[in-house]
Amino acid sequence: MEAGPFRTDTAAPLLLQPLTLRGLTFKNRIVVSPMATYGAVDGMASDFHLVHLGRFALGGAGLVMTEATAITEQGRITHGCLGLWQDGQIAPFRRLTDFLHAHGALAGIQLGHSGAKGAGQRPWHGNGPLGDPDRTAREETPWPLVAATSEAFDNGFPVPAALDESAMDALVADYCAAAHRAQAAGFDVLELHCAHGYLLHGFLSPLGNRRDDAYGGSLANRMRFPLRVAQALRRVWPEDRPLFVRVSAIDGVDFGWSLDDTVAFAAALKRLGIDLVDCSTGGMRVPREHGLPARAPGFQVPFAEGVRARAGIATMAVGLIRDAAQAEAILRAGSADLIALGREMLSDPNWAAKATVALAGETGWTAWPQAFGWWLQRRARLDRPKAGE
């Protein structure tokens, strides 16, 4: 297979090799994917976030991403979402990034806006729109929504206001202000959320965008506002720090936003100086017959591979990547440049350190914190079968 733009041909495990993007070097190719935990109060990171995300740095990950972080208070998905819409939210994030850096991990933040999917319940409260039961039980009330089109996301959801030019101008400024705060908070990587049915994906997808002006209709028009936001972020984010974009590579099978659309979007992002496309899928409502492929291990990897090969931009693969051998095979095949894990990391925060031992052998124990790695290495030696047993 043809080598991609960041392929390294060597016998050493690619998963464990450094990768340099702009002025930043990742110690390995293992990323903790953004995962919503809905545990914030007034958008503030807390001790929960410090412990939750800090354990992945102790566990050997090269880059630890925060969950989707709202650029405005109205851009939250739920009352429990993190935010960077005011300066008071910087310090708790700085405490987090300082810990990640002290333990060898880079710190990444995903900036987003909920669009038509905002003002929602936490998943364990129903995952629907906020209503009277939420007001009574938790004093959680909905707020006005904005989106590409004045159309409810689903039955029972509130109808958002369609953004006009002045409101779009204001949101671009909000994204940039949040990026400045992310820099002040010590983040190394910024990721723009353009996936999963939220605001910017709602502009991209013909399923969420029914506009008849310069921001709707043709693919070029639907890409216009997300590209404008990406360009603005690239201008304000430090030149030596990478900027990622997360996409939903397809809405459904042969329905809505397509892989061809994603490739065109990725190529346009590359021209703006975006460094990597993080390839997920889904988020919009699609008919059952056009539903996404079955969730088998690595089910989204072909999208990362397609974008990487056709747009010539680095990609990150995500989606039911379970073990080190699978992750290494993805990189060796030239399908992606970084490997992101979510639920596997929740199940085993030491996934990265274990993968290092699995791929590198005895030398891999250096990925463990010395404070307890020395004992675990000794235990592993004691547990080995002795000759003749």
Annotated catalytic sites, by residue?
A: 198
**Coil, strand or helix at 243:** strand
Distance (Å, whole) CA 319 – CA 349: 17
Report strand pairing: 24-26 vs 19-21: antiparallel
Q: How many Cα neighbours within 13 Å face the side chain of 63?
A: 32
User: Measured in whole angstroms, how far is the alpha carbon of residue 163 from the centre of its chain?
Assistant: 25
Place of tokens 């002025």: 23
User: Measured in whole angstroms, how far is the alpha carbon of residue 2 from the centre of its chain?
Assistant: 27
Q: What is the largest CA-CA distance in the chain?
A: 77
Q: Check residue 142 and report its DSSP letter.
A: -
Distance (Å, whole) CA 176 – CA 170: 10
Report strand pairing: 24-26 vs 30-32: unpaired
Give CB contacts under 8 A, 24+ apart, made by 13-20.
13/328, 13/359, 13/360, 14/328, 14/331, 14/332, 15/324, 15/327, 15/328, 15/331, 15/339, 15/355, 15/359, 16/355, 16/356, 16/359, 16/360, 16/364, 19/337, 19/338
Angle between helices 301-311 and 259-271 (to 10 degrees): 50
Distance (Å, whole) CA 363 – CA 192: 36
293-320 in b/e form (b: 16+ CB < 10 A) is eeeeebebbebbbbbbbebebbbbbbbb
Q: Which two tokens stand for residue 54?
A: 């800090």
Cβ count within 10 A of residue 361? 9
